[in-house]
Amino acid sequence: MAEPTPVLPEVLSQIRALPVSERPLVICDVDEVILHLTTHLEDYLHARELMFLKHEYRFTGNIAHNKDKTAISSEEVRRHLLTFFDEVSHAQDMVPGANIALGELSETWDIVLLTNLPGGQNKPKREKLLAELGIPFPVLTNSGPKGGAVSALAAGRPNPVIFIDDSPTNHTSVNASLPSAVQIQFIADPRFRETVEQEDHIDLLTGDWQETAAYIGRIL
Ligand SMILES: [Mg+2]
C-alpha cells in the first residue's frame, strides 16, 4: 500500500492560480491519454537503434540496444526522455475522440490537465498544441506520483473527482491520497494496455474515449 504523497509547492501554486469553482472535476493526464506517446517514443528509439524489450510500463531496464538487447542505464533513459520531449512536444498525435469527449464533458465538469512533462520550456508547446486540437483546458505540470496534486485539486469540489491516467504508479498514488476518486486507467496503445492487470482501485480500464465519456456521464 502506497503512502499519501504531499503536493509539491510548484504544483500547489499552479492549483491556487486556477479560477475558484465548485463544479465537479475531471483531472486528466495528457501522454498516452489525450496525446499518443509510446508510438512517438518507439519512432524516436528506432531512429537511434534502440527498442523496448517488452510492452511494459517501465522505462529503466526496458529500453535496450537493438543489436544485443542490452538495456541502457537509468541515466541514459533520463537523458533520452528529455531529448524526446524537446523534439515531440509540439507535434504529438491526438488519441482519436479525445477532443470531442472532453468538450462534451466540459459542459458539466471542469477539466484540468495534470501532466508530468519534463522540460519547463515544453509546457507552452504542449498548451499550444492542445489548444489547436480543441482542448483548451488548464495544463498543470507535476513531477513524480500524482496523489498529492489530485488530493489538493479535489479540495472544495463535489464527490467524486474523476482521475484519468495511463500510469499504474499514478493510480496507486491517487488511491492512497484520495481513495474516493473514480479512477479510469486509460492506455491508448493496445499492446501496452494488454499487459496491464486491472487493479482493485481501478474503476475502468480502457483505451476508448467514447466509452470513457459514457462512463463518466453516468456518474452524475
Ligand atoms: Mg501518461
pLDDT tens for the chain, 220 residues: list them: 678 889 999 999 999 999 999 999 999 999 999 999 999 999 999 999 999 999 888 888 999 999 999 999 999 999 999 999 999 999 999 999 999 999 999 999 999 999 998 878 899 999 999 999 999 999 999 999 999 999 999 999 999 999 999 999 999 999 999 999 999 999 999 999 999 999 999 999 999 999 999 999 999 8
pLDDT tens digit sequence for 2-34: 788 899 999 999 999 999 999 999 999 999 999
Q: List the domains of the chain with CATH numbers.
A: 9-36+93-217 (3.40.50.1000), 38-88 (no CATH)
Cα 117 to ligand 1 centre (Å): 9
Distance CA 150, CA 161 (A): 9
Q: Count the Cβ atoms, other than its own, within 10 Å of residue 181.
A: 23
Cα 34 to ligand 1 centre (Å): 9
Cα 205 to ligand 1 centre (Å): 14
Q: Do you find a cis peptide bond into 6, omega within 30 degrees of 0?
A: no
Q: Give phi and psi for 43, each to the nearest 5.
A: -60, -45
State whether residue 75 is helix, strand or coil. helix
Distance CA 163, CA 3 (A): 18
Distance CA 199, CA 168 (A): 9
User: Which residues partner with 141 through β-bridges?
Assistant: 115
